[in-house]
Amino acid sequence: MHKALVACRAGVGSSLMLKIKVNEVVKEHNLPIQVEHSSLDGVPGFDGDLLITLIDVAEDLNGKGLKQHIIGIKNIVDKNEIYDKLNAFLNQ
C-alpha cells in the first residue's frame, strides 16, 4: 500500500478538491493508495512515498531533494489525468 499526500500552498481549496477526486479515482480503480491531505507545511513530516499537488507547485518542489515521488496535476477535476499519472507511478 502506497501512502500519498495531497497538498497545496494553503491546504484549503484546490488541494481539498484534488483530494476528493484522487479518492474517487483510487476507489473506482481499486488502487493501492492511502490518501492524506495537508498544506505544504505538512510535507516535511510526511513519511509516505507520493506527493500529489498542482502542476505549478510540483514544479516548485522538484529539485528540493524530497524523497517522495511528485505528481503535478494540471486539471484537478480531470479524473482521467489523475488516473493516468497514478497508474504511471504504480507501474514504474
Q: What is the pLDDT of residues 16-71, one digit of tens each?
A: 899 999 999 999 999 999 999 998 888 889 999 999 999 999 999 988 889 999 99
Pick the closest to residue 43 from 7, 76, 72 (CA basis): 7
3-state secondary structure of 58: helix
Residue 77: φ, ψ to 5°: -105, 5
Q: According to the model, what pLDDT value does residue 47 have?
A: 93
Min mean pLDDT across 1-5, 9-13, 40-44 is at 9-13
**CATH classification at residue 31:** 3.40.50.2300
Question: pTM for this structure?
Answer: 0.92
Domain count, the chain: 1
Q: According to the model, what pLDDT value does residue 7 have?
A: 92
- Domain span at residue 14? 2-90
Give the pLDDT band (50/70/90) at residue 9.
Answer: confident
Is the pLDDT confidence value at 12 over 70? no
Q: According to the model, what pLDDT value does residue 39 have?
A: 87
